[in-house]
Every structure is written in C-alpha cells, then in structure tokens.
Chains A and B, each alone.
Chain A
Amino acid sequence: MFPLNSKILIVDEMKGIRIWLQKSLNILGYTDLKEASNGEEALELLKQEKFDLVFLDIVMPKMDGIALLKKLKADGHFNSLPIIILSAETDGQLITEVIGLGISQYIIKPATIPVLQKKMGDVFLAKKA
C-alpha cells in the first residue's frame, strides 16, 4: 500500500466527488491531498509539486482526462506517475482506449472505500514489481 505520507492529486470536475474522495482517502489515513477541477489545473499542479498518485476523472471542461493523460504519458517527467481513473464512463471502447494509454487502474463511480483501498494496493504492488 502507498505510505500514508504519499501525496495524492484528485482531479474531478465535480466538487462533491472531490470532497467525497478526500474524505474517503482521509479515512484510509492519507492527508496530503491536493485537488484540481480540470486537466489544465492538474497539469499546473503537477509541474509545481511532486505527486505519488493521481485520481483522474475523464469528462472535464477545458482539458479532459484523456487529453491530460496523453500529455503526461508523452512527458518523461510524468510517464511513470501512477494514475487511477475514477469515472462514471462505462463505455467499453472508451475504457479500452484509456487503458491503452497506460493508466494504472480504472474504477467506475461510485466506488467504495474497500475498492479504492484494493486498487491503490494493486497499483503500489505493480509499481514496486
């Protein structure tokens, strides 16, 4: 599992989802959290600070999750950054496309805390391998 001092970035258009995810991660013991409401904001934060994990939504204004993913994966500074997609999108083709871009995990909303915990654990183990 990611150490409890890990720095996590939450990127979601909806404030309610950001709050919910923050509270869920707090319950799991993570307190070093930052948030962004679109891809542009997220990219700025990622350039300023080093994050250990990103939770990323797909549908967002200005720069959506897929556009941000493409930028990150094309950038040597970020291409190994673990990214968990947390989205309500259930379309198989879209999910396959996003997985093909090299994300760590994909979770369909609404997720439960045990699912978040399990997926974070899987990502951490894969990173260590």
Chain B
Amino acid sequence: MSTPQEFSFYGKQIVPADLETVLTSLRPGEECVISFTDVNIRTQDFESLRQIFQKIVKVASRLVLIADPEFEVLGQGIESSRLHFVNKPGFSVSNVRGTDFDTMFVSLIESFWAHYFPNIQRVAKADAPVFMAQAAVTLIRTKKNYWIVLRMNKAGLELAADKILQFTDDGGTVYPPGDMVAEVLNILCGLLKPLLRLRKFEVQIEVGIPVELPRQGDPQEGPNVYHWSFEISPNAYFEIALNEEVNHVST
C-alpha cells in the first residue's frame, strides 16, 4: 500500500496559497489527503480556490478531503471518481503523533464538550473541580486508570440528547436519563478508542449499563444530585452525576 501525501490545515482562513502549496508538493499519480480543522472557507477569492482544487484532483491518483460538509462546495462541478469527501464532526482533536497521552485525552474531551456545550468554561483535573451551568467534565488520573467524571444538570442532559443523540420527540418515547448519558459517553468512547489504539494503549473502554447509585459524594454538592456508575471493570468506570436543580454553581 502506498503512503498518501497528507496536508493538514488548522484554525485559519484558507487562502489560494495554501492549496498552491499542496499542488506544488504533489507528484503526479500520488494519493493525497487534505484535512481541514476549524478552517474558514468563506473567502472572497473562492473561485481561485476552486480552480486550484480542480488542478489537484487532476494531478492526484486519489484525493481525499477530510472536512466539514460545507467544504463540499469546493468539488462542485468536478466529476471525478478520484475525489472523495469524508465528513467529520465540527470539533477538533489533537491527533499529532507523539502527543503525550494526557494532552491528547484532555484535548479530545475539551474539544468534544466545547463543541456540544459552548458554555463550558474549562476542563480541570480532580484537584481543581469545576462546576458549570450545564455540564462539566473532570479528568482524574490515578496511577493505573483514567476516570471521567461528568456532572450534568437536567438542562445539560436535554441539550446532550438534542444535540448529540438527536433524539427527537416522537410523541411518546421517554428515554431514561441514565440511558441518554450512556449514549453520550458511548460516542465519546467511540472517539477515544481508536486514538488510544494509535498510541498502542490497548485499553478497554465500555460504557456499561447505567445503575443509579444511592446519594454519595461531596456533601457540598447539595440536594438532588443523582449519580450513575458505569462499571467497566473493577478498577475502571465512569461516574455520572445529574443535578436536577442547580443551574449555576460557582467554584
């Protein structure tokens, strides 16, 4: 299998010069992968951008564009079986080889929550717990395990159900909160697993059946905080707290 030439653009407005760089670096018949993350394609010089893109399609034996769906306008009018658009979610994840595990893990979680919960303020480690209006996630690292502790109030859960799972009101089905949280975590795990494997971390990440636990934890959390535990193995689990009443809690 040949190795494709890969080009990645992060956090900028794409301009024709960027695609010129791709074009001049590419040898005829090579496979090419271009990845756009947090890139703005709205430029006044869009026609130039499209023309260079057409040239790249002609040079490459296969061109894979990994980007938000809105980038498909670049391929309008190009009829070529060599061109492939791969849609990816609108949030970015550090996928640079060599990134240490902590950085990658935090980057992934921050990006995930920042995308789906714009009012997230930050991700903190266990010794600096953060409470937020709609959702908070805390990364805890012990010597052997990583835990994700997610705190979410009812509004946050509904937002998760709406934005991530897209469960619409079908006129009768009520999804238990624990199931919805499990689904959110399943998607998060689905993203984490291949990234961990790329770094040779052979870990098991599964979201188990949600079990509501008796009231526990920090007494300062206040009343009506519900916890779910998702036990994966004796030493690895997710713990979820759902707070029905608190909408604004400060540190």
Contact = CB atoms under 8 A, between A and B. Distances in A.
Interface of A: 14-17, 19-20, 23-24, 27, 58-59, 87-93, 95-97, 99-100, 106-115, 118-119
B84 interface: yes
Contacts of B95: 90-91
Contacts of A20: 165, 183, 186-187
Contact of A91 (B87, B190, B198): B198
Given A14-B186, A20-B183, A90-B93, A95 B66 contact: yes
Given A99-B64, A110-B190, 20 more contacts: A16-B183, A17-B190, A24-B166, A27-B166, A58-B194, A59-B194, A88-B193, A88-B194, A88-B195, A90-B35, A90-B95, A95-B86, A96-B4, A96-B33, A99-B62, A100-B1, A107-B86, A111-B87, A113-B166, A119-B87
Nearest to A96: B4
A97 to B, nearest CB: 6
A95 B88 CA distance: 12
Max count, chain A CB within 10 A of own CB: residue among B86, B167, B194: B86
B248 interface: no
Given A88-B194, A92-B33, A109 B187 contact: yes
A17 B187 contact: yes
Contacts of A111: 87, 89
Interface of B: 1, 3-4, 6, 31, 33, 35, 62, 64, 66, 69, 84, 86-89, 93, 95, 164-168, 170, 182-183, 185-187, 189-191, 193-195, 197-198, 206-207
B86 A106 contact: yes
B239 to A, nearest CB: 17
**From DSSP, what is the main secondary structure of chain B's interface residues?**
mixed
Given A17-B187, A93-B3, A108 B33 contact: no
Q: Which among B33, B87, B198 has the greatest number of chain A C-beta atoms within 10 A? A: B87
The 9 closest A-B pairs by CB, nearest first: A16-B186, A92-B33, A108-B88, A92-B6, A106-B86, A110-B187, A88-B191, A96-B4, A89-B194
A65 B191 CA distance: 16
Contacts of B206: 14
